[in-house]
A and B are shown apart, each in its own frame.
Chain A
Amino acid sequence: MSNDIYEGKSLPHLSKTITQQKINLYAEASGDFNPIHIDESFAAQTPLGGTIAHGMLILAYVSELMTQAFGLNWISGGRLSIRFKAPARPSDTITISGTIDTIEKENECTNVNCSLSCSNQKDETIVTGSAVVKLDS
């Protein structure tokens, strides 16, 4: 296991700005055309008051952070568990961050347990969650 991986380490954070254009691109790429994401006049009349980004778009950013930190170990042995706490809206800048909380040996493997969060420019939490990455010892 790399010496770069230790308890308490902050993972290099990512920052992404949401735009309606990006939301529309994601709708086309994923096939998710729920009007809450792409129809501004519909979304304006809902309790959310406007369009919101797809949750899976935000999770793509979370996964990008984990891939940058753990590479192939993330895509071949990662586990992710998250809750959406608030919507991400067009013009929001989302900061995706993570910390290695604990490192546990399990048989021939090492489990790296991380906490994750995404927050907007007002420091409001958008997503919270945890991830486990299995590394060969």
Chain B
Amino acid sequence: MSNLSFAELSPGYEFPSFTYELDNAIINKYLKAVDSPVCEHIPPLAIAAYAMNSMTQSITLPPGSIHASQEFEFLQPVPIGAKITCRAKVVRKLVRSSMNMLVLDVSVFNEKDEKVQSGKTTIVLPASRENE
């Protein structure tokens, strides 16, 4: 499937879901990157990073796009080795002459289909010529 551009996204669009197995090797790589101690459960921001990645695999953000704000709710711990499924959708899209904005809702579920995390991401994108 080819990546979608900002212009092709509209509120309500649901991204394809992605499932990851967050095993020891993946979590150790993450912990090394964030310079954090080893832990019993998957750090919630590691789960969030994979959830974000599930979206960015589906869209092409123009260079210069910036993560402006972020909300999270962590609902239950996730053990290392668990499989998670990430689902995301567009909740708001704003087009201005100077910039574009995209607000995305992300939910993460465990193998029992229980929600373990939710989040809202706001991305500011540089304006494209079509805005003018």
Judge whether B32 and A29 touch: CB under 8 Å.
yes
Chain B nearest CB from A21 CB (Å) reads 10
Judge whether B75 and A77 touch: CB under 8 Å.
yes
Choose the segment among B6-14, B36-44, B82-90, B107-115 that binds chain A (4+ C-beta atoms closer than 8 Å): B36-44
The secondary-structure label for the interface of chain B is mixed
Residue of B nearest to A21 (CB): B33
Which listed residue (B36, B49, B74) contacts A79, Cβ 8 A? B74
Chain B nearest CB from A17 CB (Å) reads 9
Task: Give the number of residues in B that approach A within 8 Å (Cβ atoms).
Answer: 37
| A residues lining the B interface (CB < 8 Å) | 16, 22, 25-26, 28-32, 34-36, 42, 46-47, 54-57, 59-61, 63-64, 67, 72, 74-84
Chain A residues, CB < 8 A from B4: none
Q: Does B57 contact A (CB under 8 A)?
A: yes
Chain A residues, CB < 8 A from B91: none
